């Protein structure tokens, strides 16, 4: 009797193999060095299986978008990629990671004002998208980032994502606590978290649906960290809650014992069990380049621009050509 091989074992077992093979596979877009070595270099050869024969290709290809993680450098990279593929591919994607730059951003030749939108709005351009996991990185905090409005923008980035569709589990990662704990808030609209966001998503999906929002902090001082939860790289993260920093300045007594803890913060949200997570809408049937290049700028009528009032529009990321170019250089990897 011949020894069994991949093509002689039951197809159900082969499908389990395909799922396992692609589950740890990350496809990077927009980073400029997609072939650079990483800590999991052997994953670079996983798609070679699709080239072995027609039968394996026919069976295995559909498991790739269902199990791999698409990692985009920024919002525009996500749109440029996913608006260029068939909607049948978009509906099969289950895992995405992206840095949440506002969009659109123009590299040159646009010194005049143009509307820019939250990264969460990008999901509305992808009808049929229904992610099991969406990981979003904060674009406003980190090395080299010094925008005066960044604490407020991060806060409302998170809130906009919590109100969006297309995901079942959302993780928003910001490298510091400033989005809630800093004293700067010209809008004075930040509220205590995560209880306010938890109430928001429970109201959206139902009190008994299992929907929830939690916050975790990865303390800089890991030797003093407590808890059983860990990040993907092994750091300890613990539950965290905080009051808005501008309120603490006015009344320090409202601050909890964790208010001054420093570290990376992760906001983790889960939709309710029977909640409709799929993104609805009609396909644009145009590439991002075509949409972005529309005469009069890309400006959907029912979208809210990325500012609070005209003072924001004048003094914020729209305030000068240099400011917009700096943001575009970072977002578009120029």
Reduced to 3 states (helix: H, G, I; strand: E, B; else coil), residue 259 is: coil
**pLDDT score, position 329:** 79
CB atoms within 10 A of CB 246: 17
**DSSP state, 61?**
T
> Residue-wise over 273-311: b if at least 16 C-beta within 10 A, else e?
eebebbbeeeeeeeebeeebeeeeebeeeeeebbbbeee
Considering only CA atoms, which of 160, 90, 172 is closest in space to residue 131? 90
Sheet holding 26-29, edge to edge: 26-29, 69-72, 95-99, 133-137, 169-174, 263-270, 212-219, 238-239
pTM over 0.85: yes
CA distance 181 to 261: 10
Taking the CA atoms of 155, 251, 261 and 327 in sequence, report the sign of the dihedral they define. positive
- The domain limits of the chain are 1-67, 68-331
**pLDDT score, position 302:** 84
In the chain, the N- to C-terminal Cα span, in Å, equals 60
Considering only CA atoms, which of 114, 176, 185, 117 is closest in space to residue 145? 176
Considering only CA atoms, which of 266, 169, 157 is closest in space to residue 210? 169
User: DSSP for 261-294?
Assistant: --EEEEEEEE--TT---SPPS----S-HHHHHT-
- The residues that bridge with 137 in the sheet, in sequence order, are 99, 173
**pLDDT score, position 321:** 62
Helices first, then strands: H and E counts in the chain: 12, 8
Considering only CA atoms, which of 304, 325, 334, 288 is closest in space to residue 75? 288
Considering only CA atoms, which of 291, 309, 328, 241 is closest in space to residue 124? 291
Query: pLDDT tens track of the chain, all 334 residues?
Result: 677 788 888 888 888 988 888 888 888 988 875 455 554 455 557 788 888 889 888 888 888 889 999 999 999 999 999 999 988 899 999 999 999 998 988 876 666 677 888 999 999 999 999 999 999 999 888 755 555 567 888 998 999 999 999 999 999 999 999 999 888 877 788 999 999 999 999 999 999 999 999 999 999 999 888 888 999 999 999 999 999 888 887 777 777 777 888 999 999 999 999 999 999 987 778 899 999 888 777 888 888 877 655 555 555 454 456 666 777 778 887 5
Find the helix or strand (DSSP H, E) in which 329 lies: helix 321-331
CA distances from 269 to 8, 162, 228 (A): 43, 8, 19
Contacts with 202 (C-beta within 8 Å, 6 or more apart), sequence order? 209, 211, 212
């Amino acid at each position: 009797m011949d020894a069994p091989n991949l093509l002689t074992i039951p197809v159900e077992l082969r499908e389990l193999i395909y799922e396992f093979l692609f589950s740890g596979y990350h496809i990077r877009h927009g980073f400029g060095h997609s072939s650079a070595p990483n800590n999991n270099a052997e994953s670079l050869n996983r798609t070679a299986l699709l080239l072995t024969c027609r039968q394996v290709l026919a069976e295995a290809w559909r498991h790739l978008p269902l199990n791999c993680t698409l990692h985009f450098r920024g919002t525009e990279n996500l749109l440029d990629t996913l608006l260029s593929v068939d909607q049948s591919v978009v509906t099969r994607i289950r895992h995405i990671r992206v840095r949440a730059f506002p969009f659109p951003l123009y590299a040159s030749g646009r010194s005049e004002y143009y509307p820019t939108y939250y990264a969460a709005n990008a999901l509305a351009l992808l009808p049929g998208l229904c992610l099991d996991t969406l990981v979003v990185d904060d674009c406003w905090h980190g090395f080299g980032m010094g925008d005066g409005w960044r604490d407020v923008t991060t806060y409302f980035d998170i809130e906009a994502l919590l109100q969006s569709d297309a995901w079942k589990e959302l993780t928003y990662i910001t490298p510091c606590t400033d989005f809630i704990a800093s004293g700067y808030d010209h809008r004075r609209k930040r509220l205590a978290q995560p209880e306010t966001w938890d109430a928001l998503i429970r109201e959206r999906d139902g009190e008994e649906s299992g929907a929830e929002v939690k916050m975790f902090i990865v303390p800089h001082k890991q030797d003093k960290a407590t808890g059983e939860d860990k990040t993907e790289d092994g750091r300890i993260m613990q539950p965290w809650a905080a009051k808005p920093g501008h309120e603490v300045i006015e009344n320090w007594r409202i601050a909890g014992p964790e208010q001054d803890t420093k570290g990376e913060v992760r906001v983790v949200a889960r939709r309710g069990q029977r909640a409709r997570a799929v993104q609805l809408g009609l396909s644009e049937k145009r590439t991002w380049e075509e949409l972005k290049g529309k005469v009069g700028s890309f400006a959907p009528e029912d979208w809210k621009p990325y500012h609070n009032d005209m003072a924001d529009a004048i003094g914020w990321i729209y305030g000068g050509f240099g400011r917009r170019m700096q943001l575009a250089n970072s977002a578009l990897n120029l």
